[in-house]
């Protein structure tokens, strides 16, 4: 199944909890701490497979979860790292964090070359064991950290095929037939509009043992850039092509007018498409009506700024001339600066405006403390452990959150929410 736009839920593994344990040793309180760290959770990773041309594998696989890290243990034993999940995607895949009620879609990256990788959900850090919290004044700490939660988010994958040459034109203009004649591709072909319902790819042999990937994009009708017809779904696939081949139906009632519609849709979608090297061909020259009108159609297209080539995929008319023209267009494209962003360009997005700071806001019957740092700290605390609770209280006092809660009217029994933790405020704490 061809699919070029999917939405999937990815969840990295949570980190394992650190251990609180003690070894048995004479003259050492409780034998001394020896709790090991929890293992880190597994990541969710996308990697490019050059053999893929569709996102169809994700149509029926909408939820992906990596493994959590293992718990730490005594004798300084660290928990096992959670297994990561690697998902393969085709070259040209764009990745975004999906929009929700509070945030717009956010660009994460794009994968263009075989083997390129992108972590779309990072596993949670494993919690530290109690061995890390021993001090000169507290030689037998019971406090150990819980593991962090892994990233969880909906992401959108959008495929923009990476082809050197793109065939564009009106429905039934002969694009698929031309692709089959120029390459070894075998697209489905029929004598009716909208035959092509998904892009087809082939490899064309050019001069000097040079090869180029050529794509046949489904037909464009008037209004395609606004969502009409089938072609609007595939206009994105033209964006990455280096050379555009305009395919004009020589047997159409008014071939030049039909091409003007296609040209206008390309311009509406992305004006830079018309600035790329372009070759215009007039097809079906094996038909008498197309052959007889060739000079008229050629002159009309020349008035639009093109120098068309007459071709017939059935009897081979003009195909050699077209190959030479494509070779020259590819050479011209080689001299232009690359328009595709490099895989080395990574954008880092912060979803929490309170990355280092915090704020206290009233919420329902209590208060909520917001801030990435304090929420992360709270998620690592075992509130059933007295020592851990005391450490967290000291953190609130040190950051000034305790004072702000009191200023806003927190009293004994008030509910204070920090991340997923819900606490009851104690005036004596």
Q: Residue 402 and residue 428: Cα distance in Å, rounded?
A: 12
Q: Residue 344 and residue 348: Cα distance in Å, rounded?
A: 12
Judged by DSSP in three states, 402 sits in helix
Looking at residue 347, what is its pLDDT? 43
Looking at residue 163, what is its pLDDT? 80
Instruction: Note the CATH architecture for domain 359-424.
Output: 2-Layer Sandwich (3.30)
| The pairing of beta strand 415-418 with beta strand 421-424 | antiparallel
Tell me what the mean pLDDT of segment 321-344 comes to: 73
**Spacing of C-alpha 248 from chain mean position:** 35
- For residue 156 the two structure tokens come to 């959108």
Closest by CA position to 2, among listed 268, 199, 205, 249: 199
160: DSSP letter: -
Alpha helices by DSSP H, listed for 293-371, are 294-303, 319-334
Residue 348, C-beta contacts closer than 8 angstroms, at least 6 positions apart: none
Per-residue pLDDT tens for 51-73?
887 888 898 889 999 999 999 99
**Spacing of C-alpha 164 from chain mean position:** 22
Task: Judge residue 425's burial from the number of C-beta atoms within 10 Å of its C-beta, 0-12 exposed, 13-18 middle, 19 or more buried.
Answer: middle
134: DSSP letter: -
Task: Identify the band that residue 382 occupies on the pLDDT scale cut at 50, 70 and 90.
Answer: very high
Per-residue pLDDT tens for 341-354?
444 434 444 444 45
Give CA angle at 392 (389, 396), nearest 5°: 135
pLDDT at 226 over 90: no
Task: Identify the band that residue 221 occupies on the pLDDT scale cut at 50, 70 and 90.
Answer: low
Tell me what the mean pLDDT of segment 180-205 comes to: 64
Residue 323, C-beta contacts closer than 8 angstroms, at least 6 positions apart: 182, 204, 205, 206, 207
Q: Residue 41 and residue 102: Cα distance in Å, rounded?
A: 27
**Spacing of C-alpha 21 from chain mean position:** 43
Tell me what the mean pLDDT of segment 315-322 comes to: 94
Please answer whether residues 250 and 283 qualify as being in contact, where contact means their C-beta atoms are separated by less than 8 angstroms.
Answer: yes
What residue ranges do the domains of the chain occupy?
1-159, 165-334, 359-424
234: DSSP letter: G
Looking at residue 219, what is its pLDDT? 62
The CATH fold of domain 165-334: Rossmann fold (3.40.50)
Task: Judge residue 133's burial from the number of C-beta atoms within 10 Å of its C-beta, 0-12 exposed, 13-18 middle, 19 or more buried.
Answer: buried
Judged by DSSP in three states, 338 sits in coil
Please answer whether residues 250 and 282 qualify as being in contact, where contact means their C-beta atoms are separated by less than 8 angstroms.
Answer: yes
Looking at residue 220, what is its pLDDT? 66
pLDDT at 269 over 50: yes
Tell me what the mean pLDDT of segment 215-223 comes to: 66
Q: Residue 405 and residue 408: Cα distance in Å, rounded?
A: 5
**N- to C-terminal Cα separation, the chain:** 61
Task: Identify the band that residue 286 occupies on the pLDDT scale cut at 50, 70 and 90.
Answer: very high
CATH 2.60.120.260 corresponds to the domain 1-159? no
Q: Phi then psi for 198, rounded to 5 degrees?
A: -155, 155
Q: Phi then psi for 201, rounded to 5 degrees?
A: -120, 145
Lowest mean pLDDT of 38-47, 150-159, 227-236, 379-388, name the range: 227-236
- For residue 244 the two structure tokens come to 């555009």
Please answer whether residues 380 and 125 qualify as being in contact, where contact means their C-beta atoms are separated by less than 8 angstroms.
Answer: no
Residue 362, C-beta contacts closer than 8 angstroms, at least 6 positions apart: 368, 408
Looking at residue 300, what is its pLDDT? 96
Closest by CA position to 174, among listed 4, 314, 329: 314
Please answer whether residues 163 and 201 qualify as being in contact, where contact means their C-beta atoms are separated by less than 8 angstroms.
Answer: yes
Q: What is the mean pLDDT of the chain?
A: 85
Q: Residue 69 and residue 124: Cα distance in Å, rounded?
A: 8
Per-residue pLDDT tens for 138-190?
888 999 999 999 999 999 998 877 788 989 988 888 888 999 899 876 655 44
Lowest mean pLDDT of 26-30, 179-183, 360-364, name the range: 26-30
Element (H, E) at 46: strand 44-48
Q: Residue 250 and residue 296: Cα distance in Å, rounded?
A: 11
pLDDT at 78 over 80: yes
| The pairing of beta strand 366-370 with beta strand 415-418 | parallel
The better pLDDT of the pair 71, 334 is held by 71
């Amino acid at each position: 199944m061809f699919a070029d736009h999917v939405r999937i839920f990815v969840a990295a593994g949570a980190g394992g909890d650190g251990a609180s344990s003690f070894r048995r040793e004479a003259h050492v309180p409780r034998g001394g701490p020896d709790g090991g760290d929890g293992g880190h959770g597994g990541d969710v990773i996308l990697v490019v497979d050059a053999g893929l041309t569709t996102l169809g594998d994700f149509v029926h696989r909408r939820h992906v979860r990596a493994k959590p890290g293992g718990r730490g243990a005594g004798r300084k034993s660290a928990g096992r790292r959670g297994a990561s999940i690697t998902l393969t995607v085709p070259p040209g895949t764009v990745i975004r964090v999906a929009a929700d009620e509070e945030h717009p879609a956010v660009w994460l990256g794009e994968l263009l070359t075989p083997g390129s990788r992108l972590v779309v959900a990072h596993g949670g850090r494993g919690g530290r064991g109690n061995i890390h919290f021993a001090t000169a004044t507290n030689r037998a700490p019971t406090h150990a950290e819980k593991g962090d939660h892994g990233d969880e988010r909906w992401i959108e994958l959008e495929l923009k095929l990476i082809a050197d040459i793109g065939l564009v034109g009106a429905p039934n203009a002969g694009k698929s037939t031309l692709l089959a004649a120029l390459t070894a591709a075998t697209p489905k072909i029929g004598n009716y509009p909208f035959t092509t319902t998904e892009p087809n790819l082939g490899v064309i042999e050019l001069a000097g043992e040079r090869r180029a990937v050529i794509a046949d994009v489904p037909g464009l009708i008037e209004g395609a850039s606004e969502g009409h017809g089938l072609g609007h779904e595939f206009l994105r696939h033209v964006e990455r092509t280096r050379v555009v081949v305009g395919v004009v139906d020589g047997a159409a009632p008014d071939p030049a007018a039909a091409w003007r519609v296609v040209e206008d849709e390309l311009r509406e979608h992305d004006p830079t498409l018309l600035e790329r090297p372009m070759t215009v061909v007039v097809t079906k020259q094996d038909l008498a009506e197309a052959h007889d009108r060739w000079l008229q159609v050629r002159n009309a297209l020349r008035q639009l700024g093109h120098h068309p080539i007459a071709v017939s995929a059935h009897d081979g008319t003009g195909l050699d001339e077209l190959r030479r023209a494509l070779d020259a267009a590819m050479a011209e494209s080689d001299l232009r600066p690359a328009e595709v962003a490099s895989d080395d360009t990574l954008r880092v997005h912060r979803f929490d405006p309170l990355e280092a700071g915090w704020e206290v806001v009233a919420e329902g019957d209590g208060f909520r403390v917001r801030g990435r740092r304090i929420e992360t700290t709270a998620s690592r605390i075992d509130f059933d452990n007295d020592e851990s609770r005391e450490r967290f209280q000291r953190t609130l006092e040190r950051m000034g959150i305790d004072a702000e809660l009191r200023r806003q009217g927190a009293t004994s029994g008030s509910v204070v929410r920090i991340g997923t933790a819900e606490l009851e405020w104690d005036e004596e704490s």
